[in-house]
């Protein structure tokens, strides 16, 4: 009998551990081992967003980009160290909606930012 949690994306019951993550062989979804309880039974069932260092992010936070990010379809680059103010957290592929000075509206992944 497996004590591992089922996949939160497809509910497949045969997941496995890989380092500090759980992995679903059915849909290839990966999630952090310590985030299982927080995602399923958070304060109001809300998803918890974390930056690259593991800090919890909230709407309105200021974050810093931790690596150069190329923009698809453009020659522009978001440079490492760029500060992004007043972020909005959304439940999609890219976790953060924001506005970057000189570039405009943008969606970022939380794994490429650090809370300032």
Q: Is residue 14 part of a domain?
A: yes
Q: Is residue 105 part of a domain?
A: yes
Determine the structural domain holding residue 69 and report its residue range. Answer: 62-115
> What number is the average pLDDT over the span 95-107?
92
Same domain assignment for residues 24 and 67: no
* pLDDT for 89 beyond 90: yes
**CATH code of residue 97:** 2.30.30.40
pTM (2 decimals)?
A: 0.61
Total domain count, the chain: 2
Q: Is residue 43 part of a domain?
A: no
- pLDDT value of position 35: 57
Q: Is residue 56 part of a domain?
A: no
CA–CA gap between residue 72 and residue 51 (Å, rounded):
22
* pLDDT for 44 beyond 80: no
Q: Is residue 47 part of a domain?
A: no
More confident residue, 35 or 69: 69
């Amino acid at each position: 009998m497996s004590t591992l949690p089922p996949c939160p994306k497809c509910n497949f019951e045969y997941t496995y551990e890989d380092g500090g993550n759980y992995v679903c062989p059915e849909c290839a979804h990966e999630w952090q081992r310590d985030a299982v309880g927080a995602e399923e039974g958070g304060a109001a069932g809300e998803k918890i967003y974390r930056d690259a260092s593991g800090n919890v992010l909230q709407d309105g936070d200021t974050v810093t980009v931790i690596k150069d990010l190329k923009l698809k379809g453009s020659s522009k680059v978001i440079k490492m160290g760029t500060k992004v103010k007043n972020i909005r957290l959304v439940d999609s592929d890219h976790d953060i909606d924001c506005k970057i000075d000189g570039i405009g509206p943008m969606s970022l992944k939380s794994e490429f930012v650090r809370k300032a």
